[in-house]
């Protein structure tokens, strides 16, 4: 694994490990992000925290990296409604600057690309022409 991919993998690990821990440390705050049309916000916050931690640890090991990467991609897509909800109801989150809520969605696309790129199997070297 090249240095760039290793650094991006490290970023993805830290993002999801820290985020997963935040679901348990700041549970009440995280629950405010859950759109009201979703049931059981506490359960959703704690479950997503568990999956973030499992995914973060899973990408550290070559044998589980690819599957964990796909799971983190699915999880990231699954939490998109929370990011959209925050943007649509910015008044409920007065401590977060509006620009941060706006930029969060495009950054999620960058995060998805980072997950995919850092957890995909390395390309096989092509045999040299003889």
Q: Is residue 102 part of a domain?
A: yes
Q: Is residue 126 part of a domain?
A: no
Q: Which domain holds residue 18?
A: 3-119
Q: Residue 23 in contact with residue 48, Cβ under 8 Å?
A: yes
Q: Is residue 130 part of a domain?
A: no
∠ at Cα 81 (67, 105), nearest 5°? Answer: 80
The per-residue pLDDT for 130 is 45
Burial of 115 (0-12, 13-18, 19+ CB in 10 A): buried
Specify the pTM: 0.89
The per-residue pLDDT for 128 is 54
Q: Is residue 35 part of a domain?
A: yes
Buried b (16+ CB within 10 A) or exposed e, 15-52: bbbebbeebeeeeeebbebbeeeeeebeebbbebbebb
Number of domains into which the chain is organized: 1
Say how far apart CA 87 and CA 83 lie, in whole Å: 6
The per-residue pLDDT for 123 is 72
Q: Is residue 97 part of a domain?
A: yes
Q: Is residue 64 part of a domain?
A: yes
Q: Is residue 106 part of a domain?
A: yes
Per-residue pLDDT of the chain in tens (130 residues, 90 and over written 9): 889 999 999 999 999 999 999 999 999 999 999 999 999 999 999 999 999 999 999 999 999 999 999 999 999 999 999 999 999 999 999 999 999 999 999 999 999 999 999 999 877 654 554 4
Q: Is residue 37 part of a domain?
A: yes
């Amino acid at each position: 694994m090249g240095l760039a991919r290793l650094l991006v993998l490290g970023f993805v690990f830290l993002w999801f490990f820290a985020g997963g821990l935040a679901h348990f440390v700041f549970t009440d705050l995280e629950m405010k992000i859950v759109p009201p049309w979703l049931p059981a916000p506490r359960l959703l916050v704690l479950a997503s925290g568990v999956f973030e931690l499992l995914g973060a640890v899973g990408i550290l090991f070559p044998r589980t990296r690819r599957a964990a990467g796909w799971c983190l991609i699915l999880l990231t897509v699954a939490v998109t409604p929370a990011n959209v909800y925050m943007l649509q109801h910015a008044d409920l989150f007065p401590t977060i600057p509006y620009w941060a809520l706006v930029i969060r969605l495009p950054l999620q696309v960058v995060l998805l690309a980072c997950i995919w790129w850092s957890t995909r199997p390395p390309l096989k070297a092509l045999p040299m022409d003889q």
